[in-house]
Each structure stands twice: as C-alpha cells, then as structure tokens.
Structure 1
Amino acid sequence: MSAEITAPARPLTWGPSRAARELGLRRSEFDLAVHLGLIRTVPDEGGAGRGRIERAEVDSLLGQDGFPGTVRERVEVVGVTQGAALMEMPAGRFSRLARLGLLVPVRFYLNRYRAVVWLYLAEELRQFAADGANASLLKGPTPEPLRGRLAAGVDLRARNWRGRQLGFLLRQADDDPWQRAGAFAAFLDPVEVADVVRDPDERARLHRFRPGPPGHGAPGSPSAHLAEAITTAADPDEIGWLRSALAQEIRETRAHRPSPHPAAPQDDRPERTAAARTRPARGATPGRPAPTAPVPPRGLRAWLRRRGPRPAAV
C-alpha cells in the first residue's frame, strides 16, 4: 500500500492590515517599517509582490525587547517645523539643507492647498545634528559653494525621495529581473519607457510589474498630476541613468523569463544621454496609459497654464 504524499503546508501569512494589528502598530508605521526593511515580507500568492507577513516574523518581532516602541522610534516622521526644532535651527535653514540634498525626505503628502509637504525620519535628523562634521551647517553662515547652488535654484528633495523609493522597490524585487525592471520604469515617463522597451509584449509584461505612483487624489485630478510630477524623473542625467538601467534589466529578463513573442530589435538609444535625444513633445507628467496605447498629450504644464502657478513646497 503506497503512502500518500502530501505537499508541505505553506507558512501562515497575514496581510498588512492584520499584521499591523497583531504587532500593535498603526498602518502607516507598519508600512514605513516594511519600507525601511525593519519588517520582512514575503510574496503574495502566485509570487507577485511582497505584500504578506509570515506568522514567524510577527512572533519574532513581538519577542524583541521594547517592541513596538523601538520600531515606532525608528519610523517617526516629522515635517519642517518639527524637524527644525529637533535640530535646534530655524525652519528656513532646515529647508535649505533639504533642498541641497543634505536631508533626505522619506515621505510626502499634498495639503489642502495642494502644496507638497515633505516628511523626514526623526532618527536621521538626530544623527545628522549629532555628527560633528555637520556643525558648520547647523549654525552660522551657509558655506559659499552651497549658497551658490541655492541661488541657482537647486532643489533635490524630489530626486532624493525617488532614489530612496527606488532602493525600497529594488529590495522588494530581490533577483527577479522583471520586478527590477518595473522598479526602474516606475520613475520614467511612459514615453521614455516605450522608447526603451519597444516590443509591445515586453511592455505589456513590464506594465504588470511597474508600481504606480503613491495615491494622492483621484486619477486625473490636479493632486494626482502633482504627485506624478514628483515621482517622475526630470533631470536629463537621472533620466539617462534610469533608461540605461531599465534597458539592462530588460536584457536580463529575456534570459530569465522572456516574453511570449520575439522581442523587436533594440538599438543603443537607452544608453545615450537624454540631452542627445529628440523627445516627443508632451506635458511634464502625462498619464500612465496601457503599455501599448499612445500616450495622451495631457500633463502638468498644461494644467498649470489653466490653473496658475504651482504652490510652493514646504
């Protein structure tokens, strides 16, 4: 009589909301802890994404000394006013350091006036203030080279946020080249993506793995357009780097999990700098259509021309 063979039971997993309740964390705290790698996640059923938490991970966290207070301290976020008070400096100096890229935001939201409000990790601000090498930045005149950059209008807050978010998506992707390709594509205008990935079947598959922008307002609303402007690379060197990285990952996907149909021939355009290319005329942040559909010419600039100047970020 042959023995019945049964597949091993899958580990018990919970969705984010249930796991947050079990851990005694607010959902926003839980999501940021996952973002920072403080809580490990596993793929959803079918291997898409990493949205579930194993019971063993929950039990391990609950067994740590000081939990959940220790995690809450590490995910505490503050705005400009709180951050400046924490670092014992005027809010204007804090904003200047952030525009220079010395303080990196971890989140943002749009207030009721549709102004961008950046949020920073309190733990990182404390570490920056405690570092003696930064003493000249906390008090006294701003060094001349930095004043020159500010006078030129530098503002690296959105770009630094994108870099941080990209790191999170790549950690979640592990070694899956399609998920990694989707992470790079998430910060490119759809026109740029179509220019790099010209095979329709590859674009359709890539679209499945391309995370959308954070939810801010109804799709197509002014708030959604502003949020998309922040999540889309704007500087030529940033665009060029993302295009090259996306092209490399697409080449990796053909060996790992190729699309069902042969890919169209690719040329060297992804490796060229954005300044050397002739790009189609469009708004700053067109909508994200289906991968094979033409990109509509709507965008942030057109909306701003109708509605007036964009509110300043705070």
Structure 2
Amino acid sequence: MSANTFDPTRSDACTPSRAARELGLQRDEFDLAIQLGHVRTLPDDGGGGGRLVERAELDRLRAQEGFPDTFSDRVRTVGTADGAALMDVPAGRFTRLARLGLLVPVGFYVNRYRTVVWLYLAEELKRFAAAAENAHLLKGRTPETLRSQLTDGVDLRARNWRTRRLGCLLRQADNPWARAGAVAALLPPVEVADIVKDPYERARVNRCRPELPELAPPGASSGHLAERITTAQDADEIEWLRSELATYVAEARGLSPATRTALRRPRPSRRPTARPIPPMARTITGAVRTPGGAAGPPDWGAELRRAAAAHVSEWPRTSPALPALPPTLRNHGTGPTVPRSTWRLRAWLRRRSPRPAEV
C-alpha cells in the first residue's frame, strides 16, 4: 500500500453508507437527501470516484430540530396510491396530474411485472394540495386545455424526472468536465459522439459520466424500459442537451484540456502452431516375378474394391482372437494364388492395424 493513500485533510470524513448508519437512516433516504441537496458532500480524492460526508455535516444534521423524524419526512417518498390518499383525490386524477407535469416524480423503479412505479416526495404533494391556486385541479372538472393534452397522449413524467435528475447531478459536479458528464448521462451515445468528436475529450467525458443505480430487475425487457426513461427521447429535449453539452465541453477545454496520451496497440498474441501429423504407414505389397522374368503390375483398384466388399459383408461383430500370420507377397501374375479366405483375413488385418510389410 502506498504511503500517500492516507489523507489527513479527510480524516474526519466518512462514506455515505457509514454516515447513514450513524444517523439511523436508511441508505436510500440518505442518498435521496444528497441528490436533493439536503446533505453536503465532498468528492473522494482517493481515486474511488465516490462522495464523502464530513463529520461537521453529520453534527449539523443531528442538531436540527426534531431529528431524525423531520429529516425522514423531507425525504419520504410515496407511490400513486399513497400519494392520491395523501392529497385526498382519486388515483386516476392523481395520475392525470402527474402526466400533465403538475406533479414531478423524484424516482422510479421497474417491478417484476415490468411495470414502471413512479415515486413522489410526500412533502411536495402536501404543499401542492395545500396551495389555494390548485383547488380547481383537485375538485371538479378538469379544464378543457388540460383534457385536450391528455387526449393527445401527453405524459411528462419521464421527462420531468430526467430534468430533476440533471439538476441533482449538476449540483454535485465541481468542475466543467463533471458537468459535461452529467449532461452526457442523459443523451444517447451517438449524440455524445456527434458533439464531442475528439476521442480524448470523449473519453474524459465518459469517465466523468455518473452511473445510475439499478432501477430494474435483471432482464432484457426491463432494462430496455428503464433505459428509455433515463435517456432523452423528445427532439427538443435532445437538442437542448446537445447545446448544454457543447457549452460545458468548450468551457472544460479552456480550463483543463484533456490529456493526450499515446494509444497503445495491443501486441498480437502468439498462437500455438499445430504440428504436422505424420503420414500413416501403409502396407507395401510387392509383386511376384513370373517364371518369364517380368513382374506384373499390382491391380490396386481391384484390390481395394474386394477389400471394401469383404469388410462390409463379413465384418465380425466381435473381434476374434486371430493368430499372427507371417508377411507374404501378393501374387498378381500367373503364379500360385492365395486362398480367398486367407486374403480376406489379411485385408481385415490391414484395415485394423496398418503396418509396413517387409519387402
């Protein structure tokens, strides 16, 4: 371990997990408080890329009146059914208000039935229901302008969540590259590559790109659904994010240009070369000289045809124990012929264990 790993300036800081345990809060409540800006954090300079919480910040939270109940109420989230009951409206009206963008979700997740469950801050719902200017939206007939938007299929829940998420990420970013990475997290990769054409700058933006938490169970369809929600879909939204990304990259380029290191080409792997297979030894059949002194040429085609016919027709089901026979020369001339039974036995032996004959 390096001696420079310990940083005395951060000896009084702890991780968010430990801070949540010390405060007696759930981890998701503490993470939401960080996103909403209720808890101040510092970047981890140790190379982990996370955030740290100072002890002074923990003391400030403990000193709040009514802690931890008041703190938990500020980060308490509810779904559609609980939110409608909290506002004393039907669930259908609550969903319509959320689709129109009047109620902004703070989170979501995809359940095992591949259904998106939107989460809302209970504190914001209470504030919306208590406002006098919203009374006509909670009771009575929905205005015609809003009903026409619902008829056209408007649904601003995903877009409002992305806008809120971007605000939380920009609040935590402490340099232009981090702000560029926060904007790039909501854009498709092809749009990021079109704006940031330099490969070194694009690599820097991708390193600063924050990772989103697991919002869907494992599965192709659930993951695709969560990806559509976390990525900009509307043309005007994509155009606005492209403009913001170009602005932040230009600002970051002027302050701290991306490091240009030489690209290393991977060495070609040394693949083992297969050794050549030695040729199989074959039986050499000599020709017997005739009394006239001339050696007749062996009829290889006829011999192979006879050997194949004998192998197919009279192949034994169980290999009998056969005595070893001395090598003999084939007679292709006018000399004495080998008995047919002995020839079949020799052909079968050649096919079973070929070996060179003595010539």
Matches within 5 A, 1:52-91: 52-91=52-91
Structure-2 separation of matches of 1:218 and 1:211: 20
Aligned to 1:216: 215
Q: Deviation of residue 221 (structure 1)?
A: 2.9
CA offsets per residue over residues 26-46 of structure 1, 9 Å max, x none?
111111111111111111124
1:187 is the counterpart of 2:186? yes
Is 1:20–1:26's contact at 8 Å kept on the other side of the alignment? yes
Structure-1 separation of matches of 2:252 and 2:33: 30
Aligned to 2:238: 239
Aligned to 2:107: 107
The 1:243/1:153 distance shift into structure 2, 3 A limit, reads: same
Q: Deviation of residue 8 (structure 1)?
A: 6.2
Structure-2 separation of matches of 1:218 and 1:78: 20
1:35 corresponds to which letter in structure 2? Answer: Q
Aligned to 2:43: 43
Moved more, 212-221 or 200-209: 212-221
Structure-2 separation of matches of 1:52 and 1:10: 9
Matches within 5 A, 1:196-275: 196-217=195-216, 221-261=220-260
Is 2:80–2:94's contact at 8 Å kept on the other side of the alignment? yes
Structure-1 separation of matches of 2:91 and 2:216: 28
Aligned to 1:19: 19
1:95 corresponds to which letter in structure 2? Answer: T
Is 1:101–1:157's contact at 8 Å kept on the other side of the alignment? yes
Structure 2 counterpart SS, 1:118: strand
Is 1:188–1:233's contact at 8 Å kept on the other side of the alignment? yes
Number of aligned residues: 255
Structure 2 counterpart SS, 1:61: helix
Q: Deviation of residue 9 (structure 1)?
A: 3.9
Is 2:110–2:217's contact at 8 Å kept on the other side of the alignment? no
Is 2:162–2:230's contact at 8 Å kept on the other side of the alignment? yes
Structure-1 separation of matches of 2:18 and 2:8: 24
The 1:69/1:141 distance shift into structure 2, 3 A limit, reads: same
Structure-2 separation of matches of 1:93 and 1:204: 46
Q: Deviation of residue 12 (structure 1)?
A: 1.1
Structure 1 counterpart SS, 2:92: helix
Is 1:50–1:172's contact at 8 Å kept on the other side of the alignment? no
2:227 corresponds to which letter in structure 1? Answer: E
Is 1:84–1:90's contact at 8 Å kept on the other side of the alignment? yes
CA offsets per residue over residues 48-86 of structure 1, 9 Å max, x none?
755110011112211222111111011110101000011
Is 2:110–2:216's contact at 8 Å kept on the other side of the alignment? no
Is 1:179–1:210's contact at 8 Å kept on the other side of the alignment? yes
Matches within 5 A, 1:146-185: 146-174=146-174, 176-185=175-184
CA offsets per residue over residues 96-122 of structure 1, 9 Å max, x none?
000000000001011111110000000
Structure-1 separation of matches of 2:54 and 2:255: 27
Aligned to 1:127: 127
The 1:9/1:196 distance shift into structure 2, 3 A limit, reads: closer
The 1:111/1:63 distance shift into structure 2, 3 A limit, reads: same
Question: Given the two structures, how large is their TM-score scaled by the length of structure 1?
Answer: 0.78
Is 2:111–2:216's contact at 8 Å kept on the other side of the alignment? no
Structure-2 separation of matches of 1:54 and 1:188: 33
Q: Deviation of residue 222 (structure 1)?
A: 2.3
Structure-1 separation of matches of 2:218 and 2:208: 19
Higher relative contact order (CA 8 A, sep 6+): 1
Structure-2 separation of matches of 1:236 and 1:25: 40
Percent identity of equivalent pairs: 64
Structure 1 counterpart SS, 2:30: helix
Q: Deviation of residue 238 (structure 1)?
A: 0.3
Moved more, 242-251 or 7-16: 7-16
Structure-2 separation of matches of 1:192 and 1:100: 28
